[in-house]
């Protein structure tokens, strides 16, 4: 088979040769060669400081990666996205999440229609609604004020809202309880509602399509719970609102479209937390803080669009990811926020990165002959240090890490924040430099234990620091990853904005549900494993 166009590019081939040479150089050596390396390979803008000096790179690596970006037409593709071209080719859609945070008055035309004005119309409606709920003037069916908000959604209609709520909890209205229900496992909904008073509970049903099995099933069950508790079908009007692009289905469900907050097909589910899908976020932190978050997103959008690649945060992050993935054969990325409020950030990034770049064909439909999206995973520090870091330090695989931290704590408690950040910094140092056998010996370690207690080091990481976790900082951080994902997708020549891979399982489940629940023993025509599992479930259910 002939090589793909990407692998035939001079920049790609030069990077391959370069990796073979640089591969032998230890980070210890690279730091010794340039005493100012920490400053050379770091950049600060829009409130974020990125230190990428602990990546296994030198100036040539970066130059070649930038050449690769140019050869893959990253500048043109970026402009195409910002200008509303239909870059999501398999769905024939524009990709305009950047319009969701464009300031009022700015214009982005899609089919000669200004989408920014529409965005602000919805934001204003959301703000008016949020103010009513937060102030207590939106009353439930029996006249009680709303005390609990349950957001029902899944995937992009859940992970963004739940991540943002947790991240910005410190800014949230503490007299309101927020819960998030996503799983079709009834436990999720039952645990979320069991201690709540339906008369004080508001459900936000979030679904771009309003046809997603899990969300619709949960929404129907929630409606039953509400109607049963309040004894009146009419209660739905005061206790259910919807966020969707599908007014017809929202109406069918029984929610008045006056209580629907819309968005558009040019917002991908995993890029929608700053659209009306973020209604729960706005209810929690208030419209002003929500707008601050949008300003953070926008600041990163502008930075990405206009900053030279040498200092462009998402471009650097994206290109370094390409380097680790395609030239150093790292199959995963660990994202490690040293910030308890970011505990759901790794889960959020899993969908953003893996649903976007988990693709095996190019935009033209040709099978790729290079690795695409890496596996994302992670946990907040310091917890991970006491579970999986062992493998990152001494295992046989390279796991590039993104360490994320904030200089100021939102909850200062004695020396705890300094301890937290000391750990973040120490982990990056330990991974990069390790501990040689001689150093271990010099500590008086018995010879038999020396191999066990030595650390090879040379393990790459990024460190991202910001001053404080604010709504603005969260916006910049999320947009940083969004655009980094885009950069990688452009290099790989794939469609980062579709998700056909989730369809097969959904289709098969429709047949399976009928077989699991059929009254009479169904005739099964699957493979022997699937047939046996269905029979066993039927016996045991
Ligand atoms: O099945 C995957 C997916 O389509 C995601 O891309 C999306 O975020 C999620 O389901 C939820 O979809 P919806 O918002 O339409 O309910």
**Over the stretch 328-364, which tens digit does the pLDDT of each residue have?**
999 999 999 999 999 999 999 999 999 999 999 999 9
pLDDT given at position 23: 80
| d(C-alpha 303, C-alpha 311), whole Å | 9
Catalytic: 506? Answer: yes
| d(C-alpha 225, C-alpha 230), whole Å | 9
Give the model confidence (pLDDT) of 87-104 as tens digits: 999 999 999 999 999 999
Give yes or no for residue 157 CB within 6 A of ligand 1. yes
pTM of the model: 0.97
Catalytic: 386? Answer: yes
Q: What percent of the chain has pLDDT over 70?
A: 100
- What integer is the mean pLDDT of 304-324? 98
Contact 424, 338 (CB under 8 A): yes
Give yes or no for residue 207 CB within 6 A of ligand 1. yes
Strand partners, 113: 110
Give yes or no for residue 215 CB within 6 A of ligand 1. yes
pLDDT given at position 67: 98
If you measure from the C-alpha of residue 502 to the centroid of ligand 1, how many angstroms do you get, rounded to a whole number? 9
Closest CA to 42 of 428, 457, 492, 334: 428
- What integer is the mean pLDDT of 384-410? 97
Q: Give the CA count within 13 Å in the CB-facing half-sphere of 356.
A: 26
If you measure from the C-alpha of residue 296 to the centroid of ligand 1, how many angstroms do you get, rounded to a whole number? 25
- What integer is the mean pLDDT of 516-530? 96
| Atom 10 in ligand 1: residue holding the nearest Cα | 155
* Angle 158-162-164 from CA coordinates, rounded to 5°: 120
- What confidence tier does 1 reach under pLDDT thresholds 50, 70, 90? low
Does the pLDDT at position 479 exceed 80?
yes
Cα distances from 222 to residues 43, 200, 209, 253, 532, in angstroms, run: 48, 14, 19, 12, 34
When the pLDDT of each residue in the chain is averaged and rounded to a whole number, the result is: 97
Tokens describing residue 349: 């990034």
If you measure from the C-alpha of residue 157 to the centroid of ligand 1, how many angstroms do you get, rounded to a whole number? 7
Give the model confidence (pLDDT) of 32-80 as tens digits: 999 999 999 999 999 999 999 999 999 999 999 999 999 999 999 999 9
**Ligand 1 atom nearest to CA at 157:** 14
Give yes or no for residue 346 CB within 6 A of ligand 1. no
- What confidence tier does 24 reach under pLDDT thresholds 50, 70, 90? confident
Which residue in 194, 306, 364, 386 is the catalytic one?
Answer: 386
Give the model confidence (pLDDT) of 189-218 as tens digits: 999 999 999 999 999 999 999 999 999 999
pLDDT given at position 238: 97
Lowest mean pLDDT, pick from 52-56, 255-259, 320-324, 368-372: 255-259
């Amino acid at each position: 088979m002939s090589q793909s166009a990407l692998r035939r590019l001079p920049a790609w081939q030069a990077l391959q040769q370069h990796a073979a040479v640089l591969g032998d150089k230890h980070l210890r050596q690279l730091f010794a060669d340039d005493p100012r390396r920490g400053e050379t390979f770091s950049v600060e803008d829009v409130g974020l400081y990125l230190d990428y000096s602990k990546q296994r790179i030198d100036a040539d690596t970066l130059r070649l990666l930038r050449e690769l970006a140019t050869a893959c037409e990253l500048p043109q593709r970026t402009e195409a996205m910002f200008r509303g071209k239909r870059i999501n080719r398999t769905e024939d859609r524009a990709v305009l999440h950047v319009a969701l945070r464009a300031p009022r008055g700015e214009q982005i035309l899609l089919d000669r229609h200004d989408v920014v004005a529409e965005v602000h119309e919805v934001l204003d409606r959301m703000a008016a609604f949020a103010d009513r709920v937060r102030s207590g003037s939106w009353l439930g069916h029996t006249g009680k004020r709303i005390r609990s908000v349950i957001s029902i959604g899944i995937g992009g209609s859940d992970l963004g809202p739940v991540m943002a709520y947790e991240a910005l909890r410190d800014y949230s209205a503490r007299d309101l309880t927020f819960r998030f229900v996503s799983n079709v496992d009834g436990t999720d909904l039952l645990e979320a509602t069991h201690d709540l008073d339906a008369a004080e509970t508001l459900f936000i049903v979030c679904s771009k399509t309003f046809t997603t099995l899990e969300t619709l099933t949960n929404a129907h069950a929630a409606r039953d719970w509400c109607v049963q508790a309040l004894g009146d079908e009419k209660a739905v009007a005061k206790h259910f609102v919807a966020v969707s692009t599908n007014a017809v289905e929202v109406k069918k469900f029984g929610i008045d479209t006056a209580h629907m907050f819309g968005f558009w097909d040019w917002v991908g589910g995993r890029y929608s937390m700053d659209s009306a899908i973020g209604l729960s976020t706005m209810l929690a932190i208030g419209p002003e803080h929500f707008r601050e978050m949008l300003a953070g997103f926008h600041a990163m959008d502008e930075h990405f669009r206009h900053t030279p690649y040498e200092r462009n945060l998402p471009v650097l992050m994206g290109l370094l990811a390409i380097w680790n993935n395609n030239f150093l054969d790292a199959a995963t990325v660990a994202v490690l926020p040293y910030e308890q409020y970011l505990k759901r950030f790794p889960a959020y990034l899993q969908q953003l990165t893996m649903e976007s770049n988990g693709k095996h064909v190019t935009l033209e439909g040709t099978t790729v002959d290079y690795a695409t999206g890496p596996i994302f995973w992670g946990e907040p520090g310091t917890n991970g240090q006491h579970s999986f870091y062992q493998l990152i330090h001494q295992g046989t695989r390279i796991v590039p890490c993104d360490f994320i931290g904030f200089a100021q704590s939102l909850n200062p408690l004695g020396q705890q924040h300094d301890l937290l950040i000391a750990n973040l910094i120490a982990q990056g140092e330990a991974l990069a430099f390790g501990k040689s056998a001689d150093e271990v010996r010099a500590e008086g370690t018995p010879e038999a234990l020396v191999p066990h207690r030595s650390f090879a080091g040379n393990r790459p990481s990024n460190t991202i620091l910001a001053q404080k976790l604010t709504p603005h900082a969260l916006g910049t951080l999320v947009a940083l990853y969004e655009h980094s994902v885009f950069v990688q997708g452009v290099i790989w020549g794939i469609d980062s904005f579709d998700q056909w891979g989730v369809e097969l399982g959904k289709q098969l489940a429709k047949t399976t549900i009928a077989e699991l629940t059929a009254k009479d023993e169904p005739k099964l025509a699957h493979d022997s494993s699937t047939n046996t599992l269905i029979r066993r479930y039927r016996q045991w259910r």
